[in-house]
Amino acid sequence: MQDPTPDHATPFTEMPWVKFLGLEMTRSEPGEVTLVIDPAAEHLNQNGTVNAPVMFGLAEATGAAAIVMGFLDRLGTTYSVVRHVEMDFLAAARGRIAATATVPADEVERVRGEVEAGRPVDIEVPVSVTDASDRTVATISMVLAVRPPRTPDNATEPDSP
Asked if pLDDT for residue 92 goes beyond 50, the answer is yes
Residue 86 lies in a domain: yes
Per-residue pLDDT reduced to its tens digit, 110-131: 988 888 888 899 999 999 999 9
When computed from its CA atoms, the radius of gyration of the chain, rounded to whole angstroms, is 16
Asked if pLDDT for residue 9 goes beyond 70, the answer is no
Residue 27 lies in a domain: yes
Task: Find the mean pLDDT for residues 29-49.
Answer: 92
* CATH code, domain with 51: 3.10.129.10
Percent of the chain with pLDDT over 70: 81
DSSP string, 87-147: EEE-S---SSEEEEEE--HHHHHHHHHHHHHT--EEEEEEEEEE-TTS-EEEEEEEEEEEE
Per-residue pLDDT reduced to its tens digit, 63-78: 988 888 777 676 677 7
Residue 12 lies in a domain: yes
Whether the pTM exceeds 0.85: the reply is no
Residue 2 lies in a domain: no
Count of structural domains within the chain:
1
Domain of 72 in residue numbering reads as 7-147
Residue 1 lies in a domain: no
pLDDT category, 154, cuts 50, 70, 90? low
Residue 106 lies in a domain: yes
Residue 154 lies in a domain: no
Task: Find the mean pLDDT for residues 126-152.
Answer: 90
Residue 140 lies in a domain: yes
Asked if pLDDT for residue 81 goes beyond 50, the answer is yes
